[in-house]
Structure 1
Amino acid sequence: MNNSTVNLTTPEASYSFELADSRKICVFSISFLLGLPTHSYVIWLIITGTGSRVASEFFFFNLSVCEIGNSLNSMFGLLSYLFSSFTILTHFLQGLGITGRPLFQCLMCFECYLAVVHPVTFLKYKPLRYRVMCCTAAWIITLGSCLFCIFTLLSFNIEPYIWFFSTAFLFFLSIQLFCLVTVLRALKQSGPGERKRERGEENHMKRRAFYLILITTINLIIQYMPFTITGFFVILAQKDIFVFWFPAFLCYVLAGFVQPVLYLQRAGKLFCLCSS
């Protein structure tokens, strides 16, 4: 998310800068070339599905739209190496990754929490209009995040920017982990006494849902914890060097493909996993 601040007056520093740029270009390319078609396909599946699918996957639909914005931001990041005018646009779109992605993931986690832990409340707020209201508020917050990012980055005031996304990631991750861990505990509990066959089918579904939630939980930790730890470390150490950011940046980009892959697997569109 940040450029290296190494001194370019020595050959070693120049080499480090070129190496950092090559790594950023590689990660940007992966994010754009894989992210754009993957999330576009997910959106197409949701739109062309039944009306009930559109309603039930509305949060995921908005998340995929946000991820397309992140993929385009990677493309603009590549173009900014050739045309500096794209830098302003990349600064603005930073808010999609800092607030948009985790916020829609929070909505999905909270929806799962209600469905498992408070099913009566979930049924009460199941109509699409409530999801539309939540997503509208989320997009407004994301827009505010985009404006804050462009203001801080254009003013070269990098410390508030690092404080902002480190705190935001920690806050959103805390909400996500609370919801998912509570769901995992609920799924581990045995249900009421039923016939053996029905209980076996229910246990199979609960086991499948448990592993799906567990994978999602681990994936969210991999996405946000490295950036959060690195951000606070950079603030305390007062050293903003790209080599600190690259592992966190790589984890953030690669872990972002897990949820669309899981969706495609559930939809039966991921042939390499459908056989399992």
Structure 2
Amino acid sequence: MLLRPHIQNLTLNVSEPSEDMLGHCGDMLAGLLVWASFSALFSLLGCPACVAVLWELFQRHKVGTSISPNDIFMLNLTIMDLLFLCFVPFGLCNFLLWNIETFEMLTNFLYALNLAGRPLLTACICLDCYLAVVHPVTYHSNRSLTPRLLMAAAVWTATLMQGAFSAVVDELNHSAWAMLVYVIALPVIIICDASILWTLKKSYRGGGDLHPKKKKALQIIANSMVMTVISYVPPVLVYVFGHLIISDDKTYECYLAIPTLITPTAGSAIMPLLFLGNLGRLKSLCCLE
């Protein structure tokens, strides 16, 4: 999390002020409550959605449908989201109630799945779609899964490294180092999305319907654009311009930096829902009979 509470064990003195229990934001609870409430909500929504996406990918493989390169990245992204979202309630309990130092280190470690792994894998998805739409000949001549597996492995390696550093350096998740991932991922996402949209626009001008694979690419790009606006841009804007809006460090952290963690968490819940919606599975997920 963003703060290290001052008490690091299970024994809490209820007579002590809330500032001792919740770090130096103990007297500014509004931001903490907003962050905790929405994080819990997105965990509740996102976990079953991630399980449904994994089931959908498993069913494809079971019926003999070949695994597409994009499925490799979607599988890894969903696993990251599920691991992170499943742990969110425990992280909240530790932050608000338990205050166990080793548990907090694990929480900081797992936050890297959301803050580092997610944008990098989204960039991989967009890059794969870019090659499929803008350079189809090159893409179809080399559809081997090996390069995609290596890319996914590289993302996991970078993510786990950042998680390890975050577990040791408590402030890393809201430092310039954490923003480095966005500096790498956001240009790739934006350039690939813009190029794909431009290519699809030219194809549509030619008349007729879009090829089904191009429609699928358009859905994927639309999802990544939603994720970019909701999940990836707000943390960057807060880090770059936050101190221009709120100059006091404590107020900035308690009322702006911590609540902004909601947006990456929201991405972990919204992306699987969008994926299921594109497949027409969202209704069956919400209305099981």
Under TM normalisation by the shorter chain, which class is it? 0.7 to 0.9
Distance 1:172 1:207 in 2: 24
Q: Say if 2:43 and 2:88, in contact at 8 Å, map to a contact too.
A: yes
Equivalent residue number for residue 177 of structure 2: 164
CA deviation digits over 1:132-158, x for unaligned, max 9?
Answer: 2211111111111111211211xxxx3
Q: Say if 2:54 and 2:78, in contact at 8 Å, map to a contact too.
A: yes
When residues 76 and 104 of structure 1 are mapped into structure 2, their CA distance, relative to the original with a 3 A threshold, is same
Within the alignment, does 1:136 sit opposite 2:157 as a pair? no
1:14-29 to structure 2, matched below 5 A, reads 16-29=27-40
Distance 1:211 1:44 in 2: 20
State the aligned residue count. 260
When residues 53 and 63 of structure 1 are mapped into structure 2, their CA distance, relative to the original with a 3 A threshold, is farther
Distance 1:204 1:109 in 2: 17
Return the offset for 1:39. Answer: 0.5
Within the alignment, does 1:92 sit opposite 2:120 as a pair? no
Equivalent residue number for residue 120 of structure 2: 103
Within the alignment, does 1:257 sit opposite 2:269 as a pair? yes
Return the offset for 1:192. Answer: 9.3
When residues 203 and 32 of structure 1 are mapped into structure 2, their CA distance, relative to the original with a 3 A threshold, is closer
Equivalent residue number for residue 79 of structure 1: 93
1:120-269 to structure 2, matched below 5 A, reads 120-153=137-170, 158=171, 161-190=174-203, 199-202=207-210, 210=218, 213-234=221-242, 237=247, 239=249, 240-246=252-258, 248-269=260-281
SS of equivalent residue, structure 1 residue 52: coil
Distance 1:34 1:104 in 2: 21
- The percentage of aligned residue pairs carrying the same residue is 25
Distance 1:212 1:160 in 2: 28
Return the offset for 1:159. Answer: 6.7
SS of equivalent residue, structure 1 residue 202: coil
Equivalent residue number for residue 59 of structure 1: 73
Higher mean Cα deviation, 256-265 or 131-140? 256-265
Equivalent residue letter for 1:43: L
When residues 211 and 37 of structure 1 are mapped into structure 2, their CA distance, relative to the original with a 3 A threshold, is closer
Equivalent residue letter for 1:49: R
Q: Say if 1:163 and 1:232, in contact at 8 Å, map to a contact too.
A: no
CA deviation digits over 1:4-32, x for unaligned, max 9?
Answer: 99x949xxx97743333322321221132
TM-score normalized with structure 2 length = 0.77
Equivalent residue letter for 2:276: L
Cα root mean square deviation, aligned = 3.1
Which of 1 and 2 has higher RCO (CA within 8 Å, sep 6+)?
2
Unaligned runs of 5+ in 2: 6-17
When residues 99 and 160 of structure 1 are mapped into structure 2, their CA distance, relative to the original with a 3 A threshold, is closer
Q: Say if 2:223 and 2:271, in contact at 8 Å, map to a contact too.
A: no
Distance 1:209 1:224 in 2: 20
Return the offset for 1:255. Answer: 3.7
Unaligned runs of 5+ in 1: 194-198
Distance 2:216 2:75 in 1: 23
Distance 1:238 1:52 in 2: 56
Higher mean Cα deviation, 182-191 or 230-239? 230-239
Equivalent residue number for residue 13 of structure 2: none
Equivalent residue letter for 1:77: G
Higher mean Cα deviation, 98-107 or 51-60? 51-60
SS of equivalent residue, structure 1 residue 49: helix
